Amino acid sequence: MKHSPRLAQLIEALRSLPGVGPKTAQRMAFHLLQDARPAARALSQALDGALASVTRCRRCRMLTEEELCSICAAPQRETSLLCAVESPADVVAIEQSGSYRGRYFVLMGHLSPLDGVGPEQLGIRELEAILEEGSVRELILATNPTVEGEATAHFLAELATRRGLHASRIAHGVPIGGELEYVDGGTLAHALAGRQTVV
């Protein structure tokens, strides 16, 4: 059965959301037009509002509405620590752990030459400018433990050590609360290779 043109357009547009296939998009469209018209209107307005106002932090490239994001603007954050992550969601995740008081640099991706993503696209020039300022002592590499994430971490580590800064990589191993039995081989290999002496 063919949907009417506007309905088909809405279903197609909803498919651009991550993790949404044709069936889910149809379900969403029907829900919005059938039971939730005020919510549909609110979503359209929220999209317009966010597109108009949300931009990137001038310093760390985090999504924000101000020139500087709330973390870069906070004077009490440690300026000697800089944590490089792939995406804004990673910043949110680390902040929620409550275990980090430094600042961030959001790469908005990872090195991927085949997709045309090189150092330029990751804002390496901006990162170098921050490192040149002289307050950063340690660059913490929190890119994802994928091939591209590792390559990006390696590239950034060289950038830091070339300037005499300390570069560190977050630990990869068995997650807390996880059971060894269910942990994949790659993670176990990392956990064994990264083992630490018990004092």
Residues that bind its own copies in the complex, under the rule CB under 8 A: 1-7, 9-10, 12-14, 16-19, 24, 26-34, 36-37, 39-54, 63-66, 69-71, 87-89, 91-92, 95-96, 108
**Distance spanning both ends of the chain, measured CA to CA:** 69
Count CB-CB contacts under 10 A for residue 186.
Answer: 10
Q: Which is closer to its own copies, CB of 70 or CB of 80?
A: 70
What separation in angstroms does the CA of 112 have from each of 19, 148, 150, 172?
Answer: 22, 7, 11, 22
Contacts 24+ apart (CB under 8 A), 142-145: 142/83, 142/84, 142/85, 142/90, 142/94, 142/170, 143/84, 143/85, 143/86, 143/107, 143/110, 144/86, 144/110, 145/172, 145/190
Is residue 157 a contact partner of residue 167, using CB atoms and an 8 Å limit? yes
Q: Which is nearer to its own copies, 58 or 162 (CB)?
A: 58
> Residue 144 Cβ, how far from its own copies at the closest point, in Å?
14
Shortest Å distance, C-beta 88 to its own copies: 5
Taking the complex as a whole, the smallest distance from the CB of residue 41 to its own copies amounts, in Å, to: 6
**Nearest distance in Å: CB 14, its own copies:** 7
Alpha-carbon Rg for the chain, nearest whole angstrom, is 21
Nearest distance, CB of residue 31 and its own copies, angstroms: 5
Closer by beta carbon to its own copies, 118 or else 134: 118
